[in-house]
Amino acid sequence: MMDERVKRIRSEAGLKQDEFAKRLGVKREQISRIESGSRQLTDQMVLAICREYGINEDWLRYEKGGMRVTSASDLIKKYAAENNLDELDCKIIEIYAGLPDAHKQAFKSFAIKLGGIANEIAKDAEFARELSQAEELDAEYRRMEFGRMLTEEEAIGLVRQRYADAKKGEPSTSTSENYATG
């Protein structure tokens, strides 16, 4: 029942009814009536609880799924912990996940080249077609980003510099201006 789930949310947050209510912009008495079952939750209250306390709406309404909303960042952190990844690894995954599809394809192409595995994997005809498309997008992206096509050595240097800057926790010093004039 929703009243029991509200009580559980409050309890797990370690809050008294008045503190819980204050964060929702209501009075303690309203929370007391909801938890006792004498008052039903309004749609507005359900949404407020979910937003304020990071609760999965389906769980609160129907007890379906997990109690908490899991953010992409939380999933990445969990994956990182399970796979011994550091903070930079997590940041790279987050950045990649936020890229537009065309940039993801360019990144894949570059990663394959950088890893030196393109020839081994390209034996698969489907992959060869995808690789060709990714390489075209990679070239297009480099022209858009730097005003001209970077050489492979320049691109590798740019990635290494950005990696070094990220590892130091500094903003990247390698920008398109450094490479546009070549």
**pLDDT at residue 122, as a whole number:** 53
Report the range of poorest mean pLDDT among 3-12, 16-25, 105-114, 155-164.
Answer: 155-164
pLDDT value at position 143?
Answer: 61
Predicted local distance difference test score (pLDDT) of residue 79: 84
Q: Give the burial string for 128-161 (b: 16+ CB within 10 Å, else e).
A: eeebeebbebbeebbeebbeeebeeebbeebeee
Q: Model confidence at 20, in pLDDT bands (50, 70, 90)? A: very high
Q: Given this model, what pLDDT does residue 131 score? A: 65
Distance CA 133, CA 33 (A): 61
**Cα separation, 160 vs 154, whole angstroms:** 10
| 115-151: pLDDT as tens digits | 666 556 555 666 667 666 777 666 666 565 556 666 7
Tell me what pLDDT residue 98 has.
82
Residue extents of the structural domains in the chain:
2-62, 100-180
Average pLDDT score over residue span 153-170: 74
Global pTM value? 0.44
* Chain segment 98-125, per-residue pLDDT in tens: 888 888 888 888 877 766 665 565 556 6
pLDDT at 182: 45
Q: How many CB atoms lie within 10 A of CB 114?
A: 14
> What is the CATH topology of the domain spanning 2-62?
434 Repressor (Amino-terminal Domain) (1.10.260)
The per-residue pLDDT for range 25-70, each reduced to its tens digit, is 999 999 999 999 999 999 999 999 998 888 989 999 999 988 988 7
- Residue 35 φ then ψ, to 5°: -65, -30
